[in-house]
Each structure stands twice: as C-alpha cells, then as structure tokens.
Amino acid sequence: MEVSHFYNGKPEAGNGRQTGPVINPSTGHKLYDLDYADAATVADAVKHAKIAAAEWASASQARRLQVIFKMRELMLANIDRIAEVTGLENGKTLADAKGEIGRALEALEFATNAAQVSKGEYSLNVGGGIDVYSIRQPVGIVGCIAPFNFPVMVPLMMGSMAIACGNAVIVKPSEKVPGATFLISQLWQEAGLPAGLWNMINGGKEVVDAILEHPDVPAISFVGSTAIGEYIYQKGSAHSKRVAAYTGGKNHMVVMPDADLEAAANAFVSAGYGAASQRCMAISLLLPVGQGTAEKLIELIVPKIKALKVGGYNVENADFGAVISSASKQQVISSIETAIDQGASVIIDGREQQFDGDGFYIGATLLDGVTTEMDMYNVEVFGPVRGIVRVDSLDDAIRVTNSHEYGNGAVIFTRDGESAHRFVVEVKAGMLGVNVAVPVPVGHHNFGGLRRSKFGDAHMFGPDAARFYSDLKTISQRWPEADQKANNLSMAFPSNS
C-alpha cells in the first residue's frame, strides 16, 4: 500500500524532505516511510481548496447530498478493506475497527440532515413593515486535525458535515495512522466529490502550524491530547479562527450499592480496556460507593480481566491489541510504577503478561487504593491501566468526580432515580451515562466535554456541527409600496414600535 498526500482530487507524492516511519503496532515492524509536507504544500492545497469551496458553496443541497449518500455506499462496500488498514496501522482489533467505521457511517448519515440543521429563521413584520430573516452560508475551508486512535471516525465526524454544509476540508491525520484516511480520500473522489474539496496533508507540527496560520482557513477542528489542543486553540484564536478542540478525559464510573453489580462489572471491563484503553471516552477510574460494593465489584471484575485475550489486530477472538508505539508502552509501564511508588496497590499487573514477537503489547492492569493526590488519578493514561478510587457516599463520588480538571464523560450505575438525577445535575462533565458506560451520543445529539476536555464553544456531531461550519447572516428588509412617502429624518436609534 502506498500512502501519500491527497489534494486537488489526486494523490501527491510530496517533496520527501522529511519523512517518518509508519509502524505496525502488532509486530513492531515498519510498514513504510511517510512523506511529511511543509508549509508550501499546505499553501498549495489551500489554494486549490479555496477555488473548489467557492464553487461548492453555490451547489444545490441535492447535489451535495448525492455525494454524501454515495460515500456511505462506498464505505459499506469497503468496510473490510478500511478495517484491515486501520488495524494494521493502529493495532486495534478488526472487530473494534469495524465498530469505529459504524460510528463513521453514523456521521455520514447525520450529514444528510445538513439542509435541516442549517436552516435559517424568518420573522414577519417585526415593526414598521420590516421582515427579519437569517441564513447560513459555508465558512469556506475547514482544517481537521485528527488523532491516531480513531483514524476513520474522527475525520468523518469532522469532515462529513463540513462537506454537506458546502465547505472544503483539509485533513491532517495522525502521522502514525494515515492509511485509513488516505483510503477515505480516494472514496470521496469515487463518490463524485469535486476535486479540491477533500484534502489530506501528512506531517507533524509544521503542517499543523501552517494550517493554523493560513488566512484562508477560518475554522479548525481538533481531537487529541489536552496540551496540543490548548496550543491549537490559543494559536488558532490568535489568528482570528474559530476553533473546536476536543481533548483529554479521565472518565469516572460511580457504582452505587444498589446497582446491578454484574452488569457494572461487565461495563467497566469493556469500557475500561477496549482498544487497549486508547479512547478519550474510556472509563479510567472506578468509584465504588462503600467498602462492601468495592469488594464485591473487585471479586466480579478480576476474573473478567484475567480472561481478556491480548493479541494482534487480526488475531481471532483477541479482546484488544497493542498500544500505538513503543514510547506509549513505556509511558504506560512508567505510570504503573509511579502509582505503586505513590501508594496504590496492584490487583492485576499487566506487566507480568508475556507476549510473542516485538509488538507493543501490555496486559490489562488494575490498581486499587488510588487517591486524588496520585498521578494515576490526575494524569490521563492512554493504555490498559485502570484505577479504583474508594468512596463512602454519593456526595463523595460527586465531589471526587468534579475535582478533576477534565470533564469529558462520567457515568453512574444505580437502580435509584434520585441518585441518578443528582449525578446528572451536579456532575460537571459534557457526556453523562446512567447505566451506560460509554455515553457517546448518537449523531443527532451534540458531542463534547466540559472544563479542560474541550476548548471552544462548538460541539462535534449534532446541530452544533452545522453551526460551526457555517456563518450566520441576519437580514432586516423593508419593501415599501410604490407610492409610499419616505419617513421623516430621525436621528434617534431605530426601534421596532
């Protein structure tokens, strides 16, 4: 497979001044070297995108939707191929990759609602024979900076609605996993999207900065770590861009004594360790309320974790695969060591699990006795290490959940409506679950966290996506009758009386 930049409707080899390896995490072996673009390449892509965006903005809604529907058909027809490339470069299992593609299809399906969610409003005769109405028009070019953990879902979550609203997009995928995004680029072209509207530029910080600084890219969407997201938000804002940056999470799962503990245990293991815990909405911390609840949950959870099978992306029945890189594996190991040094106790130690080959594998790890002073509580660990924070009451659970700087997601397992209601009202997180462990909303609801889990006012998915990718104009108009006399000159501020 050859992966390159893709802009103005075709693959572009790049100048090759700087390259980086793309590694198969399941084996640790290099797949190929990827060309990294420079600022000049970004500028060239933007030049073509600007021309294409101007034409696409005037295309009919029916024309745009034809492309969206065709793209969905092509995604379904190529699901095995896309999943294979995703697993090969990311390390996630094929089943997990197909699950990601399913959510990407949901983004395309919601994009077919662009005409509905981007409608304006009309008020007749607000005063003095004046009618007021609003319209939405595409912003032009949207920069989409995507993470390694969802190389299919996130680019399409960002880009589908942008395209449907009449924009061009420039996607910078993670340089670790460009293959799936390259396939998507080819499928957009096959779907009939005019050249220049979907562009993929590979690279690192130089490419990101070039997108952030270019005056013809007015909107930036980002998913990734908090440190980089804050940088992108600040730099993009300094260049007068609208920015939506979706960043880190340390998602808490509260389990009340009255909960279905078997269901809670299954939910924690699945939501905590799926995709080797490399998800921003993964459950990071388990907060059982009461010592009895904690002991019963641990008794249920431990055998489930020990039964998890870790293997290559294409290994049958593997529950999760390798982490993304050797450096990531070392960071995970370091986080375990730090937690032990700071007083946490090990229930299951994934470092002890043995694996064949040179893949970046680490077994599922569970730590008990985690406190809010520990790094294991405060720092997001993108790997299969989860912690237990024991609390005595729902009040304590809410206080601990709200004490964290992140507010991406939080969930409660309970049979009690009052507890659930208090949790939903009082917890400061953007996506909440009641007996739902991964509360990522469906496409027609807004996605996004609170506090330092999101920078900017916009949301991904939902009606807010269409708002982010469009400019609002409000028009006041009067059409006087032919023989109507002009109003007398008045210097007072106009009022609609």
Residue 484 lies in a domain: no
Residue 480 lies in a domain: no
Both 191 and 259 in one domain: the answer is no
Tally of domains in the chain = 2
CB–CB of 384/276 below 8 Å?
A: yes
Phi, psi of 264 (to 5 degrees): -65, -40
Both 60 and 73 in one domain: the answer is yes
Q: How confident is the model at residue 91 (pLDDT cuts 50, 70, 90)?
A: very high
CB–CB of 26/167 below 8 Å?
A: no
Locate 252 and state its tokens.
């808490």
Q: How confident is the model at residue 458 (pLDDT cuts 50, 70, 90)?
A: confident
Q: Residue 497: its pLDDT value, please?
A: 65
Cα-atom radius of gyration of the chain, to the nearest Å?
25
Residue 290 lies in a domain: yes
Spot the catalytic one: 280, 297, 427, 431. Answer: 280
Residue 496 pLDDT exceeds 80: no
Both 89 and 170 in one domain: the answer is yes
Phi, psi of 23 (to 5 degrees): -110, 140
Residue 439 lies in a domain: no
Q: How confident is the model at residue 129 (pLDDT cuts 50, 70, 90)?
A: confident
**Is residue 280 flagged as an active site residue?**
yes
Q: Where among 384, 404, 434 does a domain terminate?
A: 434
Q: Residue 230: its pLDDT value, please?
A: 94
Structural domain range at position 394: 251-434
| CB half-sphere exposure, 144, CA atoms < 13 A | 31
Share of the chain above pLDDT 70, in %: 99
Q: How confident is the model at residue 60 (pLDDT cuts 50, 70, 90)?
A: very high
Both 242 and 277 in one domain: the answer is no
What mean pLDDT is predicted for residues 338-361? 94
pLDDT tens-digit map of 350-359: 999 989 889 9
- The rounded mean pLDDT for the chain is 93
What mean pLDDT is predicted for residues 103-116? 92
Q: H-helix or E-strand containing 6?
A: strand 5-7
Residue 110 pLDDT exceeds 70: yes
Residue 449 pLDDT exceeds 90: no
Both 156 and 279 in one domain: the answer is no
Both 70 and 108 in one domain: the answer is yes
Q: Check which CATH number belongs to the domain holding 79 and give it.
A: 3.40.605.10
Q: Residue 292: its pLDDT value, please?
A: 97
Both 130 and 77 in one domain: the answer is yes
Q: Check which CATH number belongs to the domain holding 334 and give it.
A: 3.40.309.10
CB–CB of 455/285 below 8 Å?
A: no
Q: Residue 357: its pLDDT value, please?
A: 84
Q: Residue 301: its pLDDT value, please?
A: 97
Burial 393-407 (b: 16+ CB within 10 A, else e): ebeebbebbeebebb
Both 243 and 95 in one domain: the answer is yes
Both 175 and 321 in one domain: the answer is no
Residue 152 lies in a domain: yes
Residue 132 lies in a domain: yes
Both 360 and 430 in one domain: the answer is yes
Residue 497 lies in a domain: no
What mean pLDDT is predicted for residues 251-272? 96
Both 68 and 204 in one domain: the answer is yes
From 262, 282, 280, 279, select the one nearest 271 (Cα to Cα). 282
What mean pLDDT is predicted for residues 4-21? 90
Residue 81 lies in a domain: yes
**pTM over the 0.85 mark:** yes
pLDDT tens-digit map of 273-304: 999 999 988 999 999 999 999 999 999 999 99
Q: How confident is the model at residue 495 (pLDDT cuts 50, 70, 90)?
A: confident
Both 289 and 181 in one domain: the answer is no
Residue 443 pLDDT exceeds 80: no
